[in-house]
Amino acid sequence: MDVQLLSQAFLATLDPDAATRAAAELHLATCESSPYILASCLTIAKDFFYPAAVQQAAAVFLKNLIARHWKISGAKHIRNPSPLLLPAQHQDQSQQQQQQQQQQQQQQQQHQEQQQQVVPTPSPPPVAFSASTRTEFKQLLLFTLPQVTPEVQAHLVAVIATVLSADLPRNLWPEFLPTVISMLRTPESMYAGVLCAAQLFRYYSRLKPHQQRQSRAQYESAVGAVFPILYQIASIAPAQDPPLALWKVVKCYRYVVTAKSSIPAFLQSDQELKNWLSLLMDILKRPIGTTIADIGVSPQHQQEQHEQQQNEQQQTPKNTQSPAQSFGSPAVSVSSEDECESDSIKRFAWMKCKKWACHVLTHLMVTACGTSTESAFIGQSFGNSARLTSGAANPTASIYLTYFAPEVCNIFIKEIEKWQQETPEARSSFLSIDSALINVFTYLDLAQTVPDLWSAILLPNMSIILSNLIFQTLLLSPDDIELMHSQPDEYIAVNIENAEFTPRTYARRLLSHIMKFHADQVLNGFFQFINEIIAKYHTNRNDYTLAVQKDAVLQMMAAVRRSFIVSGKSSNTNTANAIELFTHQMESFLVHHTSLDKSSQYAFLRARACETIAAFGQFEMPLSDLENVYTRVLPCLADTEVVVQFQAVMAIQQLARYPYVHAALADPQQVSNIMVHILEIYNKGVDSERVALVMADLIADYTEQLVPFAAGMAKQLADQFVRIAGEVISRSESDEGFTDDKNMAASGILDTLHTLLAALGRDKSAELRPTLIPVFSIVLSNAQEDFYQEVFDLIELLVPEAQQQQSPRPDDGEFLNQLCGLIQAGSVANPAHAGEYFIPCLCTLIETDVAGTLCTETNTKFFFELGVRYASTPGEYKKRGLDFSQLIIFWYCKLERASECVDFYISQLLDLVPTSDVLGIFVAAVSYNPFGVPAYVARTGRLAAIVHEYITVFGHKFTKVYEKKLVASGLLKFLSTLPETPTLEPSIAYDLANAVAKYVIDIENLPLKTEPTSPQPNGGAEVTQFQFVDSGIYSYEDGDDDDSDDDSDAEAYNYYYNDADEPSFTEPLLEATMAQFLILPYFKEHLGAMKARAPQVYYDLYAHSGVEFQRLADYTGV
């Protein structure tokens, strides 16, 4: 393989001409199978002779090649062993000519095949690398890593990660760890060694629990061998900045500490814990801009490190540097000519170091405090996975809480104190990183549950925590306010609906927990702080800065109120007094301050006032104050700012829980106006699930008042759903972005429509059918699976009920035909879900189609094709297809169109479906057309097989009472047609008669299995509960219901195939038909008719059948 040609191909992939790029990509695809491709890519990636873009292209190609084929080739070799990896420039030219000739021959062959219109050959199998190729490549990969640029290095690290995940579980890379240790001890390759170590521990941290147990010994050994060197690298002064290696070392420690398994024993030793935590705390202490040489763990640690360094120098040749004496490598060196870029890289690396140091310290705090209920609740959101030690007595956790947690708290307090100062050091604080700030909030939240930390550190510094941390975090930034005005939908999505993991949420949570557990100690100071801010605001309500501060104060008040709602009454007298004090303060605050804010010139303050009202939804207040609050919230619904309208809707939802407001909303005009304003929010592009929930609540509570406006609301909701669904479809097709928020909003609208229809009832809901057809159309035609369940639930509310057979609506037939057409379109767009969603819906439509309006030629063809496809295809929904087939037969027979069903549909089923599966369909058809169906089946030659199958399994596959009644009635009709069915062998007919008799005896629970009973033509004492009624339909005289056994032996209900958990969609229809059906008189009626019509056939049947049939015939007097 010519490396120069390969590099030109990589360069051509960057060409703006599409044809040139396509040709280059085709050439690279043919090169993948070469055994020299791996070495050639590494040669190009590390050789500075090639342009940087070509080097990166080679690295990216190599990364993708390894990701696609490494695991496959490692599992099974499908290629002969390839020669050792050699530099590409030393390859034999004859091999190149041979490969070119092969390519020309392949091109000629492909051209000939195209001319002859021959189907192209399948793509070649995945590339497989021989064992020797894999071994040589791994060695060359680690050798190349220190010699490439940072951009290429990132791609090669990804290659290492892929190879590790494939080879380490099978112990195919035993040289990796020794090589990494050697790289760590060599100054020139030290940074690359740190990168490799990070990937190693990243791999171990992401193993599944059973894999972690299997590899625990290797994991512990790797930690014990690598981490002493990593600590030396991180703690001894380097020669150059930036601290990239320190960043990666801290990540290595983070992978180990935050893994889902317990922390290795080596790192839990007192000395190692002391070393690493001291290092992390010193990283947090040092301002950005200092060198790593300034990080002295402590004088004692410096002395220990100096002695350790001297010992290693005695064991190292004099011409070799210590691993930590230089960070220099081409990958990390920064040009002195570009100081701005150097400062940027240095700041980036230091911020990463501080971020992960803060993360690790917080994670250890979570694990150390995990025993108490409060701390466990707080740590849930952080992820309490790794454990310091096991058992109730946790000495390591005790050490952490005693010696390190106070120091970490002090570090955070000092950082908080200087955070808002106008100094370069404050602007470079790690608190400016959102993830680090969240870690600080979590740490302090846990610390307030530890009595010593609370009393000694947090309580004395509460004013700093309150004013410099919580208050400052809650302040809206100019970007937030600009977003509120320019993109209100985005503001609501980011700052309200999806704000769970933002610093503001953690700030409010910390304040809430402090008030919950320490209200008696901090509430007075809290109110003093609040009153100071509010007093400043009232001196100048038009001041922008004071308005922003007032907004933060309102957030704090809402957070404190939520904490008191959660805590409720307290047995602690001081806490109870604090809650009472808060309640009295709130009465005036809620009415006066929030009411004034609703008329503020600042939209963010008007919105926050409504949000505060919503937070105090369970607050008891005098009626006059409640009236004042409610009357001031209503105008906010018509505010010019969407965010204000949104928060006003949320406030109305909470205020509606008060009896006064609930009664006021009972006015149809008022509640309808509120609904109009809510729909306006949708019209302005705010797709919020919360708004849909408010609408659903109002509809459920004020159904009667909203009935006159139901059509308008449904129309607007349907329009909004179509709009949002259209955006979801367009985004999905173009891969423009995340659609979860849109999906949730659309689902919320469908739920609101469901609430509206359910509240209106079927009669009034039916008037909304034309409005909802576009909703069904966009979902089904575009295969939007996320909305299938909600859409089919809506359809179920709109179709006519079976009880409405006597007075159907004029538009029932048209609506059913529209739905059927949409379902047909949906089955074309998404055939995979026809069995799961479409067949059940069609069953509902068929059961309610009394007039047979769906029996059009198009629909009939669609039903038949769908039923045959699923009934004849093994799989998850085979039984559902069989049920659907049975229901179609019922339907056609009841509509007196059985000839179509027999001639077309059953003929296809008999040809495709095994006899055992046809049994249920045959019985269903026979029960409605006892003459036509057996005659047709007899002509196909399968009648005897079907009857034999029935006799074989009749006691096992039909277990429910209504099933037995159905089968027995169908077979009784079939027995009565024996004179017209001469092809059935007499012996099979006799066995069938006895089987039917057993069914009847079992259904009626008659004592005929053991003792013969004298004939009782009139029913006798044992059957006085039965009586004949007209037309062969029977009912229980005394209301006794044998269907109480329907739920017994559920596992046996699998008469199509083994699927006991799958319900039958024909059960409602069958149960309704057979529940009042008396099988014993039915038996007497049919045998009597047979005896009268064909006496000889009857007497032959009686004489040759089993004793069960004879006794039953005698019992009924036939």
Per-residue pLDDT reduced to its tens digit, 976-1006:
776 666 666 777 777 778 877 877 777 777 7
Per-residue pLDDT reduced to its tens digit, 369-381:
874 445 544 555 4
Asked if the model's pLDDT at residue 387 lies above 80, the reply is: no
Per-residue pLDDT reduced to its tens digit, 112-137:
444 333 333 344 456 778 888 899 99
Judge contact between 298 and 282, C-beta under 8 A: no
Give the residue carrying structure tokens 């922390």.
263
pLDDT band (50, 70, 90) for residue 468: very high
The confidence score (pLDDT) of residue 1019 equals 37
Secondary structure class of 610 (helix, strand, coil): helix
Q: What number of residues does the chain have?
A: 1118
Q: Looking at residues 344-370, what average pLDDT do you find?
A: 89
CA 74: distance to chain centroid?
32
Query: For the chain, what percent of residues have pLDDT higher than 70?
Result: 70
- Among candidates 900, 898, 890, 1101, which has minimal Cα distance to 994? 1101
> b or e along 267-283 (b: 16 or more beta carbons within 10 Å of the residue's beta carbon)?
bbeeebbbbbbbbbbbb
Residue 1089 to residue 1098: CA distance in whole angstroms: 10
- Threshold 0.75, pTM exceeds: no
Secondary structure class of 78 (helix, strand, coil): coil
The contacts of residue 572 (CB under 8 Å, 6+ apart) are 520
Asked if the model's pLDDT at residue 1086 lies above 70, the reply is: yes
Asked if the model's pLDDT at residue 240 lies above 50, the reply is: yes
pLDDT band (50, 70, 90) for residue 466: very high
The confidence score (pLDDT) of residue 1104 equals 73
The confidence score (pLDDT) of residue 775 equals 94
Asked if the model's pLDDT at residue 238 lies above 50, the reply is: no
Asked if the model's pLDDT at residue 182 lies above 80, the reply is: yes
Q: Looking at residues 188-212, what average pLDDT do you find?
A: 92
The contacts of residue 580 (CB under 8 Å, 6+ apart) are none
SS3 content of the chain, % helix, strand, coil (to 5): 75, 0, 25
Q: Looking at residues 149-178, what average pLDDT do you find?
A: 93
Asked if the model's pLDDT at residue 79 lies above 50, the reply is: no
Cross-strand partners of 290: 288
Q: Is the dihedral of CA 837, 842, 845, 848 positive or negative?
A: negative
pLDDT band (50, 70, 90) for residue 339: low
Per-residue pLDDT reduced to its tens digit, 596-609:
566 788 999 999 98
Judge contact between 813 and 853, C-beta under 8 A: yes
Residue 705 to residue 723: CA distance in whole angstroms: 28
Q: Is the dihedral of CA 625, 631, 637, 642 positive or negative?
A: negative
Give the residue carrying structure tokens 């559902």.
880
Give the residue carrying structure tokens 């199958």.
949
pLDDT band (50, 70, 90) for residue 310: very low
Asked if the model's pLDDT at residue 139 lies above 80, the reply is: yes
* Tokens standing for residue 31: 């090169």
Judge contact between 799 and 846, C-beta under 8 A: no
Q: Looking at residues 674-691, what average pLDDT do you find?
A: 88
Judge contact between 438 and 506, C-beta under 8 A: yes
Residue 1055 to residue 952: CA distance in whole angstroms: 12
